[in-house]
Amino acid sequence: MTVEDQQMGMLPEGSKRILGRSAQRLNILIGYAVANTIKTTLGPKGMDKMLVSDLGDIVITNDGATILDEMNVEHPAAKIMVEIAKTQDKEVGDGTTTSVVLAGYLLKNAGELLDQGIHPSSITNGYLLAAKKSGELLNKLAHKVSIEDKEKLNKIAGISMGSKSIGLGDSKDYLSELVVDAITMVAEKKPDGNYVVDTDLIKLEKKEGGSIKDTKHVKGVVIDKEFVHSGMAKTISNGKIALLECPLEIEKTETDAKIQITSPDQMKAFLDQEEKMLRDMVEKIKNKGANVVFCQKGIDELAQHFLAKAKISAVRRVKKSDLEKLARATGARIVSSLDDLAEEDLGKAGKIHEEKISGESMVFIEECESAKAVTLFLRASTEHVVNEVERAIVDAMGAVSSAIEDGSYVTGGGSIEIELANELRTYANEVGGREQLAVQAFAEALEIIPKTLAESTGMDAIDTLVALRTGHTKGEKSLGVSVHAGKNEDMEKLGVIEPTRVKKQAISSATEAATMVLRIDDIIASKGKSGGPQMPPGGMGGMGDM
């Protein structure tokens, strides 16, 4: 009996196992297949993917993270690639396609080195050295940008959302300005002079109908609710806002209780007492000077009537997250009990109004002084388009906030990748040994970005690469692929710039994922409870035949 047979004997019947070089080949093949699937979506001329779920829901996008998330892959190596996209999306909000494509080509090049008899440890060591050197080079090649430099920040936002289908036309510039305005409003300066941006303070509210140009930046909050009573004012100037976590209704006791009423007088007294309690609640709000109430819980119908009589407009069942944004936007304090409500707890807004949009009422809280929470109200003709606008805005928010926090950017259009590749080839000679081959393979993988941009534009990929390498060798560090002009141009002059952090994170995530996959020499799929193996032995669910 062989050692392998002995090892299989300890596993449940029906388990699958792939060993050694076969396991490495399979994982590399799957990783490369994932990269190839989304490679065509890279850049402003990238193509879209239509993803149809089991229920028939359709998603049309070229956002890398969304595509991989919707594809529902099954093979574990493919799931690692999905994790790269999720990490990139969470950390910087942009560059998901770049990170996955780079990881796929790092694996492909590693496979060629394995075929030459180079040990996986030598390859992973070389890749890690190249990634570290790339980080150092990015710091050296980066340019400075500040929060006051709106022009450069607008360009960063525009490049980030340029690959989305909404990037066609002049709507991209319009949306870029909205994103930069929103980010600069919520950015907070730290004692050391740097800025920190919490993108959660920017609420994205979307509604289909209208055009992309109807999208607007609200210096305040938009609530997808309506005022609770028809008698309440629909437009309030100089709003004084109370934010309540407590209900404006008579709460029922948690324990079982009975009230015994034996006469009509007692019944009337009981109802009068309930009415008095509700009237007192409204009186407390009125006495503090509030003319608008946002309540996280319910508001009794009788309380609604009293509020309307007191000329107080109210919204009920407001989400906790929206209450917190209202507090940041208006300066109000969220109150848990009406007895704690004080005049200084009230927030202020210049204008509060209810609007009917696409048949649904929404409340706009605008003109908030020094608002630290804002809303981007997204509009587009159909549900699919407005969803893609949202994805583009999220990417742009991530890119702009990264640029502001780090205070640096690099040139795009594949120029930074070519420059890194050139520098890494020189560095490979310093490394020596077998690791230098891995460093060279890393440099070659980086060049897939400008190569793919050239392919999506219809340019000759080989000629473009040769011309870029020659230009960068002569010192033209900003030379990259101008996808709109269909030729190589200076990216700095064109304003094609990206945050340094996007590139750093993409290289870091791709390297870690590739080295993790390369270290695997044994795949064991145990028998699941249903009787079948938990992992397909050589496929990737949801990806078809690649």
Strand arrangement, sheet containing 143-144: 143-144, 408-411, 497-499
- Mark whether 272 is an active-site residue: no
Respond yes or no: is residue 96 known to be catalytic.
yes
In a 13 Å sphere around the CA of 271, the CA atoms on its Cβ side amount to 6
Q: Which residue has the tokens 């927030």?
A: 347
Dihedral sign for Cα atoms in the order 262, 263, 267, 269: negative
Alpha carbons 452 and 43: distance in angstroms, whole number: 8
Annotated active-site residue 37? The verdict is: no
Separation CA 273–CA 247 (nearest Å): 17
- Of 61, 66, 96, 515, catalytic: 96
Interatomic CA distance for residues 231 and 86, integer angstroms: 48
Two structure tokens written together for 226: 């309506």
470 is catalytic: no
Torsion angle, alpha carbons of 336, 342, 344, 350, to 10: 80
- List 40, 61, 66, 97, catalytic entry: 97
For residue 249, give both structure tokens.
Answer: 């209704």
Question: Which residue type does 203 have?
Answer: K
Token pair belonging to 197: 């941006």
**538, amino acid identity:** G
CA distances 38 to 64, 68, 297, Å, are 7, 8, 45
> Catalytic pick from 395, 411, 452, 464?
395
Q: Which helix (H) or strand (E) holds 353?
A: strand 347-357
The Cα–Cα gap between 409 and 399 comes to 10
Nearest alpha carbon to residue 106 among 530, 528, 516, 460? 516
Per-residue b or e along 353-391, where b marks 16 or more CB atoms closer than 10 Å to that residue's CB: bbeebeeeebbbbbbbeebbbbbbbbbbeeebbbbbbbb
Angle, CA 51 vertex, CA 48 and CA 53 arms, to 5°: 170
Q: Catalytic residue, from 37, 40, 63, 511: name it.
A: 63
Enumerate the active-site residues. Answer: 63, 96-97, 395
